[in-house]
Amino acid sequence: MAGLRFSLIAFFCLILTSWNAMSQHISVNSAIVENFVRRTLISDSTAFQSNSLMARPILLQSVLGENKTQMNELSGLARPSLNLGGIIKLGILAPETYTKTTSHRPHTYNQGSLISAKGQQSIFSFGIYGKSKYVELQIKPEFLIAQNPSFDGFADDHAEIVWHRRFLWWNRIDTPERFGQPSISELLPGQSYLKFTYDHMSLAFSTENLWWGPGRRNSLIMSNNARGFPHLRLMTSKPIETIIGDFEGTLIMGRLSSSGFDPPQVSRTYLNNLSFIPKNEDDRAISGFTINYKPKWLKGLWLGYSQTTYRYLERSHEGNPYLAIFRNVFSGGNQIDFFSLPQNHSSFFFRLALPKAMGEIYAEYGLKDQSWNLRRLFSSIDNPNAVTFGFSKYIKTRWEKWPLLEISAELTSLQQYPFSSIVQANSWYLDGEVRQGYTNRGEVLGAAIGPGSNSQFIQLSIFKGLKSLSLNVERVVHNNDYFYYTFGPSQDNRRFWVDLNLGINLDLQKGPILISSQFNWIRSFNYQWQLTQFEGQPYYIGGKDVNNAHLSLKLTWLLCD
């Protein structure tokens, strides 16, 4: 019990060092805290109220529910900083540093404001928090420093037709190979927000990272793979209880920006025509919503739906771009036609928590681009789609040092199997009209593996409170859509670009410092689809295989006594 109490103290000191931590957001970038909440919800159903965990950041209040004894006990773990007449409470947020380095090429996976770059980069974060009866303010900027050195990218010796077809993808998405040439230093608003709350609803202006859906490693619609974007967010502050079950929801209207960088070698031509087509660099408006439903009669089951759409801000003749999500909601004046909403990306998902079995199962299925209806959903196979499936199982051990073990796995596929989608370069997250695609500042807003890619991930972990040790292995097949479009006609099936990723994660606390560390060794087979064959060699030979080491370290200074 002493160990559990110590972990809970560290947990709440980590989140906030001011009065009433119950209404504080758990940042999507605080994986150690989110994982602690998830483990507790699944392995000890009596400690916390059921929560979908599918619309994040989540609030401690919605996790703890109405258990007054527990709320009072845990609120007392946070040290008051400044109390202005009992009306306004102020506190200091725990300072954080996050540093990572890679040896050969970029390896960035759900890391918020960090960029996709080789070498060392760091984020320094700090902030303050204030709260009155209805208003909350969190100012938590992030300072980014990145070396951003050059690295071997798409190979010069690829044939011109191979380069030309690569540009077909680059022309439809803003994911530069390198973020310019010099080193980068930038002050960002980070995980900041101003929020107004009344009863079950909140309205916030925020730059926080968001995560929608049940996925733990990949989310199809919204994740923290890119930096947070400025947005207005209307959301439930805790589940709304009805006679048919509980509901959660979030509605956003925000602004996305371009990276400002082009792909490599934009002067290349094919058949005397430039392969690169410059993009419109205007900002984009994004609007979207996610809604989660927990049926009253099915304990532990959450069902959800998410949808986003985006437009260039300059296209005012098409109506207010921030309200695009609402277009065509009403058809013929009064008839509701929900499934004909204009949409770019949407997904259905579920999460089934099994506290008695100490496990969970979840899945997400996504569709892209066109308006569709239920008949089209079940009868047509030519929609660009994506899918994620995962599970976790917890087992109590007899080892006092590590009393809880977890086995988890997640499979994600963004590859388009209808060949028509591949031929049209209509991969997931690509867009032929808004040619930045589904990105912000040069990084995909959804699944980190990127367009046309597939991932298989499995992890074995042991825990005690906040302390954890994990071993994992992941296989990533990079952009199979591009591979089949480029090399499929020649039936050259030797060039699949596949990464084998072996990782170890360690989280622990030393005095007032919470430490989260990660090491990955990545072996890339046929890196960037490279294979050079000389005359006289057998047909089946190895391509260009490279190694990449990735190390990250996150330190959080707890401010509790």
Cβ neighbors of 185 (< 8 A, separation 6 or more) are: 143, 144, 145, 146
Task: Fill in the DSSP letter of residue 222.
Answer: B
Residue 513: partners with Cβ closer than 8 Å, 6 or more residues away: 555, 556, 557, 558
Beta strands 513-525 and 498-510 are: antiparallel
CATH of the domain at 196: 2.40.160.130
- Domain total for the chain? 1
Q: pTM surpassing 0.75?
A: yes
Of 91-95, 396-400, 499-503, minimum mean pLDDT range:
91-95
Of residues 182, 144, 322, the one with CA closest to residue 261: 182
User: What is the signed CA dihedral for 71, 77, 83, 88, rounded to 10 degrees?
Assistant: -40
List residues bridging with 501 in a β-sheet.
474, 522
Q: Would you say residue 221 has pLDDT above 90?
A: yes
On the question of pLDDT at 385 being above 60, the answer is: yes
Confidence of residue 304 (pLDDT cuts 50, 70, 90): very high
- Contact partners, residue 74, CB within 8 Å, separation at least 6: 8, 12, 21, 22, 60, 64
- The mean predicted confidence, pLDDT, of the chain is 85
Q: What token pair was written down for 300?
A: 């532990």
Confidence band of 488 (pLDDT split at 50, 70, 90): confident
Q: Which residue has the higher pLDDT, 273 or 514?
A: 273
Structure tokens given for 410: 């997640």
**Mean pLDDT score, 143-159:** 95
> Whole domain around residue 12: which residue ranges?
2-557
Q: DSSP assignment of 14-27, as one string?
A: HH-SSS-GGG-EE-
Which residues, in sequence order, are CB contacts of 556 under 8 Å at separation 6+?
14, 94, 95, 96, 513, 514, 516
Q: What is the pLDDT of residues 157-212, one digit of tens each?
A: 999 999 999 999 999 999 999 999 889 999 999 999 999 999 989 999 999 999 99
pLDDT at 338 over 80: no
Two structure tokens written together for 262: 């082009």
